[in-house]
Amino acid sequence: MANSYKSTDQTQLTEHFNVSEFKCKCGKNHDTILNPDLPEKLEKLYKALNCSKIIINSGYRCQSHDKAVGGSGTGHHVYGNAVDIVCYDQSGNKISSKKVSCIAQDIGFGGIANIDSTYTATHVDVRTSNYWKGDETVTTAYSVTDDFYKYYNLTKTDNSSEKKSKSITVTFDGITYTGTVTEK
Ligand SMILES: [Zn+2]
Ligand SMILES: [Zn+2]
């Protein structure tokens, strides 16, 4: 079930996503249709990727705007199910859409696809049938894989490669020693 918001609405939907970010970019001040599952899953994506920001280039689209940007007028943006995003890491660099696709797959987005030749922009949506795992540099017509990890040759450890380290303090005979232990 999608929610409807006035074009002036500024509701903060989750920690990092405001309804205004999902507005149609046609320039008319019509309502925003939004599936509440979308900001929820985006928030999970934001945290799993340890983002500094996620920019929504395209969120909800009315039919005429969807057609104006090359869509069919019946795609998932029209139902408030979809966003096109660019994710940024803590250094302010764009995160590869290959990695974004893998993590979005783990989170359970129903439609996921790289959408640009530099592999920095990703379409994600919360459809619940006719799942799509795409790569628009190859085709927009069908899924290119059933597992992005295989398709992009990434392993799960690539996404959690930071070793856990902890600092240890020992006091002996009034002298304090501090060291760092890193898990192998
Ligand atoms: Zn519009
Ligand atoms: Zn899209």
Which residue did the predictor score with more confidence, 168 or 52?
52
Around 108, how many Cα atoms within 13 Å sit in the side-chain half-sphere?
A: 7
Residue with tokens 């799509």: 132
Q: What is the reported pLDDT for 182? A: 57
What pTM does this model have? 0.84
Quick one: which of 114, 122, 98 has its CA closest to 41? 122
Which residue did the predictor score with more confidence, 66 or 172?
66
Local confidence band at 118 (pLDDT 50, 70, 90 cut-offs): very high
Which residue did the predictor score with more confidence, 73 or 175?
73
Q: What are the C-alpha distances in Å from 121 to residues 29, 96, 107?
A: 26, 8, 18
DSSP labels for 85-111?
Answer: EEEE-TTSPBPPHHHHHHHHHHHT-SE
Residue 64 pLDDT exceeds 80:
yes
**pLDDT tens digits, residue range 124-163?**
999 999 999 999 999 999 999 999 999 999 998 654 445 5
DSSP labels for 58-90?
Answer: E----HHHHHHTT--SSSTTTTT-EEEEEEE-T
* CA pair distance 99, 164, nearest whole angstrom: 21
* Residues facing residue 182 across a β-bridge: 165
> From ligand 2's centre to the CA of 162, what distance in Å?
31
**Rounded mean pLDDT, 62-83:** 95
Nearest ligand to the CA of 29 is 1
Q: What is the reported pLDDT for 160? A: 47
Nearest ligand to the CA of 60 is 1
> From ligand 2's centre to the CA of 111, what distance in Å?
9
Q: Which residues make Cβ contacts (< 8 Å) with residue 66, sequence separation at least 6?
A: 72, 73, 74, 75, 77, 78
Please name each of the domains of the chain with its CATH number. 3-182 (3.30.1380.10)
Q: What is the reported pLDDT for 173? A: 67
- Residue 94: both structure tokens together: 């764009």
> From ligand 2's centre to the CA of 41, what distance in Å?
15
